[in-house]
Structure 1
Amino acid sequence: MKAAVSAVPMKDRILDAADGLFYGQGIQAVGVDAVAASAGISKRTLYKHYPSKAELVAAYLARRTGQAIPFEGTPVEQILGLFDGLARWFGSKRFRGCAFVNAVAELSGERQHPAIGVAAEHKARRLAQVRTLLQGLGVDDPDRLAEQLMVLFEGAVAVSLVRGGDPQVAHSAREAACVLLRSAGVAVDRDARDSAR
């Protein structure tokens, strides 16, 4: 067992521990002592890799940007796939809301915190991805429709969190996304509308 643990790069060990603790218990509730203990290292070793808790929190969120719901398929399938991914996530035991929104809420009094920038960049990147897909579909106002779809997406995360992780919220948001897409002149076939069920 020790050999397997030591084979994991130190930064990854630290971020694995930080991810579980920060997402599971909250950024403000978890100190660097707890992260170091969970990683099986000293606080001094942790600080060699992440000189401050702020840098550790920003790194934790930055790594999560690579774990986002993937985009695959046709543009319509990719857009609706975002909501399918939400349904799976909401039904999992690990769902505690959006790590990026949670971090911004916890750090709202620290607007210069580096994690706030990481969260904002992540959300802007997702919006840009959806806008690009909509441009490819030839919709008249891709900026506006992308914003509307992302409001549905983010709203579904918040509502599901309040309801204790309800996948039905994602299905409802997906249906609303289909309505928005159709009203913008995008063909959404019956199979695409029903695939989340």
Structure 2
Amino acid sequence: MALKNRPAKDRILDAANRLFYAEGIRAVSVDAISAKAGLTKKTLYYHFKSKDDLIEAYLASRDQPNLDLFRKWFDEVDGTLPEKVEAIFTNLAKSARHPKWKGCGFLRTAAELANMPGHPAMKVGAAHKKKFEAWLAREFEDRGTSQPQELARYIVLLMDGAFSTVLIHSDPTYIESAGTAAKEMVLAKS
């Protein structure tokens, strides 16, 4: 569907997604988003009360698609539980090799809003991370893994650490190494 034929709110969110992810939330102005969406700033403010509301909506729009992608990568593997967990990291490493990859949008936003812990986007980011952790814990529990909640938390820590390290070193093999560690942890608890 052509950009002009899409609802204004969708065009604004699409533009915010592209710009916030590529450049960061503080670097991108409301003017830039409205221009990218091909709309006036007045139209943007009709749909979003403030830039903060738009930042919150940006992260909320990434929540379910990201969780669905992790589930897809997990489910595509016919192997063992440790191999399924490792596959999430393997696919993340592939994604990290794309020139437009900028890491985890939730973590990057949290870093930019670190001095604003009550910001609505911080709550969306925290909820996203908790949903991923809860999903993993259920997968582990359903498969009889010992200490499923603790193991899920370890995997989340490995993943977020890998995201951060790759941004510092520009080396996706850190994600692969985290995947190997995750596989070994799951194997030890199976």
Q: TM-score normalized by structure 1?
A: 0.87
Match of 1:85 in 2: 91
Contact 1:71-1:78 at 8 Å conserved across structures:
no
Match of 1:61, SS? helix
Equivalent residue for 1:104, pick from 110, 133, 140: 110
Q: Which residue of 2 aligns with 1:16?
A: 14
Paired residues for 1:143-162 under 5 Å: 143-162=149-168
Matches within 5 A, 1:4-83: 4-68=2-66, 69-72=69-72, 73=75, 76=81, 77-83=83-89
Higher helix share: 2
Q: Which residue of 1 aligns with 2:175?
A: 170
- Which SS does the other structure have where 1:153 is aligned? helix
Q: In the aligned structure 2, how far is the partner of 1:70 from the partner of 1:41?
A: 34
Q: Which runs of 5+ in 1 are unaligned?
A: 187-197
Question: 1:14-58 deviations in whole A, cap 9, x for unaligned?
Answer: 011111111111111111111111111110000011111111000
Q: Is contact 1:71–1:81 with CA below 8 Å preserved after alignment?
A: no
- Partners of 1:179 and 1:111 lie apart in 2 by 34
The whole-number CA distance in structure 2 between the counterparts of 1:171 and 1:30 is 32
Q: Which is greater in Rg? A: 1
Worse overlay, 87-96 or 125-134:
87-96
Is the Cα–Cα contact under 8 Å of residues 58 and 115 in structure 1 kept in the other structure?
Answer: yes
Query: Which residue does the alignment assign to 1:180?
Result: 185
Once residues 158 and 112 of structure 1 are traced to their aligned partners in structure 2, the CA distance between those partners, rounded to angstroms, is: 22
Deviation at 1:152, TM superposition (A): 0.9
Q: Which amino acid aligns with 1:79?
A: V
- How far, CA to CA, are the matches of 1:137 and 1:5 in structure 2? 45
Give the TM-score normalised by the residue count of structure 2: 0.90
Contact 2:21 2:105 in 1 (8 A): yes
SS at 2:71 equivalent:
coil
Measure, in 2, the Cα distance between the counterparts of 1:171 and 1:105.
23
Do 1:23 and 1:99's aligned partners in 2 also have CA atoms closer than 8 Å? yes
Partner of 1:195: none
- What is the CA-CA distance between 1:150 and the residue it aligns to? 1.1
The number of aligned residues is 182
Could you say what the CA RMSD is over the residues aligned between the two structures, in angstroms? 1.6
Percent of paired sites with the same residue: 37
**Partner residue of 2:146 out of 91, 116, 140:** 140
Report how far residue 84 of structure 1 moved: 2.0
